[in-house]
Structure 1
Amino acid sequence: MEILMLQDGKVAIVTGASTGIGLASAKALREAGFRVFGTSRRMAAGGPDGITMVACDVTDDSSVKLIVDKVLDTTGRIDVLVNNAGTGLMGGAEESSIAQAQALFDVNLFGVMRMSNAVLPHMRARKSGRIINISSVLGLIPAPFSALYASTKHALEGYSESLDHEVRSFGIRVCLLEPAYTSTSFEQNMVLPDRALDAYVAARARAVAVLQEIMKTADKPEIVAKRVVEAATTASPRHRYTCGKMAGQVSVLRRFVPERMFDKSLRKQLGLPA
């Protein structure tokens, strides 16, 4: 109840809020007292109680401007932006054309930049704001057969931490959330490489099998949503929040396990030859 009173009247935008982490985050922020606007690329009928759903394509400048202007016209403020919209791609790095790689970056990285650039002038004027970017543990570690997806998250990590230093003097903070495997429709909706090569068929199949096995015990999106609320409401947020037990373990291992040992363990898990 204390959080509800504290956050009452504040406004949050959550991109990619129709399912999974975005939906869970929108609900959690609403329960914490925020007025929440959720976006999805294609507008669906209805929406969760208490959440205003609007269509927004984060790859389109005019669409992004339209949603931000609408929220400001309606409420007069934007306190929190959660950049969650994203897409996956599973395949060997060589198996994707440059055009496919660019399309992935346009959603996962440049979409974040578009949304952030659209809200920052307002946040700077108010000298207050919080931008929360949904990254991944694949922004910390190598990801064979998810090289392009991992590249978008590695780039997002560098962008977010650098941006945080730039805007902190304006009362704005930028936070990264790093979930591991999360039980959503994300994996089912992954894009396949547009020029699949026979050379990678067997290894890619093993990587897919490992992913399917891990997904049987994947974290619930509510675990990430809880961290979203924490990052949105705490007075002194951290740069990074790991989400769930596996994400925490991976983060520690990446920092403290010798590179050779980490490399060997990763290849063993994916069934790759030493």
Structure 2
Amino acid sequence: MTSSRPVALVTGASSGIGEAAALALAGKGFQVIGTSRDTSRLTSGGGVTFLDLDVTSDESVNGVVEQVVARFGRLDVLVNNAGVGANGAAEEISVGQAQRVFDVNVFGLMRMTRAVLPHMRARGAGRIINVSSVGGFVPNPFMAIYVSTKHAVEGYSESLDHEVREYGVRVLRVQPGPINTPFDANQVQADHPLQVYAHQRRVFEDVMQESMRGGDDPTVVAKVIAAAATDRKPKSRYLAGATAGRVAVLRRVVPAALFDKSVRKLNRMAG
């Protein structure tokens, strides 16, 4: 049976940006499937149905996508929102731990994308919306692993968009600035902390908490995701929030040396 309503699949939909995006898309008339690792405590309703999903598992990803297509007969929009942060100097995070972060933020996104593309190409229409970050185009000390995943998402998304556009499928990026969510409390912590970085790491944690608490509400990003899903002529990237807009302009027009200095000043670093 094919749904008469467009169908959207949102990963990481149990809280924060994902939850807000699921509700925003439902408000735009979509039948929304929200996913999380454990949805047992979540209640379906308001146009949102919840399914368990582990984006690090090929079996889980393929099973959920096939279940959605079998149930609704279509899949119009995928929002790749599931992600995890990583807090610590790059030297403090083992390669194994970095691989686990990449497995969620990058390879999980790739698994989801590869699973939905055949269905979208067959219908000649579809949108894949990847939630990136301002960290996808600016540096952020003590978040090198997380930032590198978002740089990867940027390159993958923009390149893939050119590959699939002729088949009616678009791959779009949403780039939020700081968002007031519990994201900072759920970050992976460095598994090999070093005393030499201890002081500056604590300074960074204070800066991060201040930035998040003063950040935009998740609904700000959700509105942008909904726009990316419904715009008649979608843009390849969407900045989300006032800070993201300012940072993008500064990155483009400020001389490199001055921008570098501003990054160090913002993060209260010497020199």
1:44-100 Cα shifts (integer Å, max 9, x gaps)? 233252211000000000000010010011001000000000000110000011000
1:43 equivalent in alignment to 2:31: no
Alignment partner for residue 215 of structure 2, among 215, 218, 235?
Answer: 218
Contact 2:177 2:243 survives alignment (8 Å): yes
> In the alignment, which residue of structure 2 is the partner of 1:180?
177
Q: Does 1:136 align with 2:107?
A: no
Conserved 8 A contact 1:8-1:34? no
Q: What amino acid does structure 1 have at the position aligned with 2:238?
A: Y
Aligned partner of residue 204 in structure 1, secondary structure: helix
Conservation of the 8 A alpha-carbon contact between 1:8 and 1:33: no
Q: Report what 2:188 is aligned to.
A: 191
Establish whether residue 60 from structure 1 lines up as the match of residue 83 from structure 2.
Answer: no
The answer on whether the counterparts of 1:180 and 1:244 sit within 8 Å (CA) in structure 2 is yes
Q: Does 1:12 align with 2:8?
A: yes
Any idea what the Cα deviations from partners look like across 1:126-171, whole Å, max 9, x if unmatched?
A: 0100000000000010110000000000000000000000000000
Identity of aligned residues (%): 53
- Residues 1:25 and 2:16 are matched in the alignment: no
Unaligned runs of 5+ in 2: none
Q: Distance in 2 between matches of 1:101 and 1:255?
A: 29
Mapped contact 2:11–2:82 kept (Cα < 8 A): yes
**Structure 1 length normalisation: TM-score?**
0.96
Report the Cα distance in structure 1 between the residues aligned to 2:42 and 2:250, rounded to whole angstroms: 43
Contact 1:91–1:146 (CA<8 Å) still a contact in 2? yes
Shift of 1:185: 1.6
- What is the CA–CA distance in structure 2 between the aligned matches of 1:273 and 1:8, rounded to whole Å? 58
> Is 2:78 the partner of 1:81?
yes
* Counterpart secondary structure, 2:182: coil
Out of 132-141 and 180-189, give the one that drifted further: 180-189
Larger deviation, residues 81-90 vs 210-219: 210-219
Query: d(CA) in 1 for partners of 2:163 and 2:130?
Result: 16
Cα distance in 1 between the residues matched to 2:215 and 2:193: 28
How far the C-alpha of 1:235 sits from its partner, in A, is 1.4
Residue-pair matches, total: 268
Aligned-pair CA distance for 1:271: 1.4
Match in the other structure for 2:92: 95
Tell me what 1:4 maps to.
Answer: none
Please give the root-mean-square deviation of Cα atoms over the aligned residues, in Å. Answer: 1.1
In the other structure, the counterpart of 1:166 is 163
Give the deviation of 1:8 after TM superposition.
6.1
Stretch moving more, 45-54 or 108-117: 45-54
Residue of structure 2 in register with 1:255 after alignment: 252
Equivalent in 194, 202, 206 of residue 203 of structure 2: 206
Q: Give me the whole-angstrom Cα distance separating, in 2, the residues matched to 1:140 and 1:178.
A: 9
Distance 1:272 1:176 in 2: 30
Which residue type is aligned with residue 26 of structure 2?
A: R
Residue 270 of structure 2, aligned match among 259, 267, 273: 273
Alpha-carbon distance between aligned partners in 2 of 1:46 and 1:140, rounded to the nearest angstrom? 34
Counterpart-to-counterpart distance in 2, 1:46 and 1:87 = 20
